[in-house]
Every structure is written in structure tokens, then in C-alpha cells.
């Protein structure tokens, strides 16, 4: 019988779970049926763990807007189906009553937060970026008595996150460099 790594891990997990459940009086078929029911109707997609710079990948099973299954991605050359304890908790990012789902805004000096729409937030963010860049852009600098072009935006810093994949990082970095941003950091290094 051909058995993929993922299939092997599923079977192993089911075997260990079945042994534990058997001790509690549940049968192995009952456990297997429950496992099947849990994710058979769910939509699967892949994701990247956001917690550190290792960049492990996972398969997420989603049903009715809730994460119902999470496992390491066997095809990932980085984690090969493994997830550390932090990675195993990433479902809590989605299944969480305290997760913010709206844009929240607190005006300068205000004590209360207000809800805003993305249609209001995106132009406001773009305006702030443009105004800050205009006010802090350094076009040339004196280096050893010679004026050289530096095209540097000193008023904005850019922070990346471990949930971004290579292509997203490429685009984010290009965007920042196009604005002249030189202060770039990554969440996992802080």
C-alpha cells in the first residue's frame, strides 16, 4: 500500500488517539468516525505560521467560518508537517471573540476609539503617508564635500511580519524602497 507522509501522520495520530480513547471506553471506529466527521465537510487551505521567522506552513480546515482542523504541511521543506506548540495554537487567531474585525480609529487627543470603514481608512492612510514623505524626504546629502542623490524618506518606518510569504515580502519591500524608506524591520527580529 502506498502511504504518503501525511497519510502516515494521520494514521499515527488516529492510532494514538484511538489507544487513549480506548482507555476511556471509546472504540477505535468511533474515534475514526468522529475524526472523519470533523473535517470531511471542511474546506482546506494552506497558510504560514505568523509567530516567528522560521516560516512553517500549515493546512487549515475551515467550516462555517470556524477553523476545525490544523496540521503541519507535509510538503513544506521547512517544517515537513511539524508545528511547535505556538504553531499549533494559530487557530486561536481565527477562533477568537476578541479578534478585531473592523478598522478602529482613535483621533489625536481622544480617549475613545471609533469604528471606521476601509473606504474611510485607506484614503486617510494614503494621505498620511504622502504628507509624511513630502515633509521628511531627503533628496541629496553632502558626502565628503560633494552633494550626492540619496532619495531618502526619513519619516516612515516599515515593519514586516512572519505571515508574509516570499512574494509578499518582495512586493512590500519594493513598495517601501519606492517611497524611499530606509528603516525596515521584521517582527520576528524585535
Q: Please, which residues have CB within 8 angstroms of residue 128's CB and are 6 or more apart in sequence?
A: none
Judged by CB under 6 A, the residue of 18, 31, 47, 51 near ligand SF4 is 51
Residue nearest to ligand SF4 (CB): 87
The C-alpha angle with vertex 15 and arms to 14 and 19, in degrees rounded to 5, equals 115
Q: How far is the CB of 38 from ligand SF4 (least distance, A)?
A: 22
Q: How far is the CB of 52 from ligand SF4 (least distance, A)?
A: 3
Grid coordinates representing 45 are: 487551505
Q: How far is the CB of 117 from ligand SF4 (least distance, A)?
A: 32
By C-alpha distance, which of 50, 55, 57 is closest to 94? 50
For ligand SF4, which is the closer residue by CB, 49 or 179?
49
Task: For residue 52, state whether it binds ligand SF4 (rule: CB under 6 A).
Answer: yes
Residue 59 to residue 87: CA distance in whole angstroms: 11
The interface with ligand SF4 within residues 77-96 (CB under 6 A) comprises 79, 83-84, 86-87
Check if the beta carbon of residue 123 is closer than 8 Å to that of residue 82. Answer: no
Q: Rule CB under 6 A: which residues touch ligand SF4?
A: 49, 51-52, 54-56, 79, 83-84, 86-87
Amino acid at each position: 500500500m502506498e502511504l504518503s507522509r501525511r497519510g502516515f501522520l494521520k494514521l499515527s495520530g488516529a492510532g494514538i488517539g484511538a489507544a487513549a480513547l480506548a482507555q476511556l471506553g471509546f472504540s477505535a471506529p468511533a474515534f475514526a468516525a468522529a475524526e472523519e466527521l470533523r473535517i470531511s465537510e471542511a474546506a482546506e487551505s494552506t497558510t504560514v505560521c505568523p509567530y516567528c521567522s522560521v516560516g512553517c506552513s500549515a493546512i487549515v480546515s475551515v467550516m462555517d467560518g470556524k477553523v476545525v482542523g490544523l496540521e503541519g504541511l507535509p510538503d513544506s521543506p521547512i517544517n515537513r508537517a511539524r508545528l511547535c506548540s505556538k504553531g499549533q495554537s494559530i487557530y486561536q487567531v481565527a477562533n477568537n471573540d476578541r479578534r478585531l474585525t473592523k478598522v478602529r480609529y482613535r483621533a489625536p487627543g481622544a480617549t475613545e476609539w471609533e469604528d471606521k470603514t476601509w473606504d474611510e481608512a485607506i484614503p486617510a492612510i494614503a494621505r498620511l503617508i504622502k504628507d509624511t514623505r513630502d515633509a521628511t524626504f531627503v533628496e541629496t546629502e553632502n558626502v565628503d564635500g560633494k552633494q550626492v542623490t540619496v532619495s531618502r524618506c526619513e519619516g516612515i518606518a516599515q515593519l514586516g511580519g512572519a505571515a508574509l510569504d516570499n512574494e509578499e515580502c518582495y512586493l512590500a519591500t519594493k513598495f517601501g524602497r519606492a517611497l524611499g524608506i530606509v528603516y525596515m524591520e521584521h517582527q520576528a527580529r524585535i
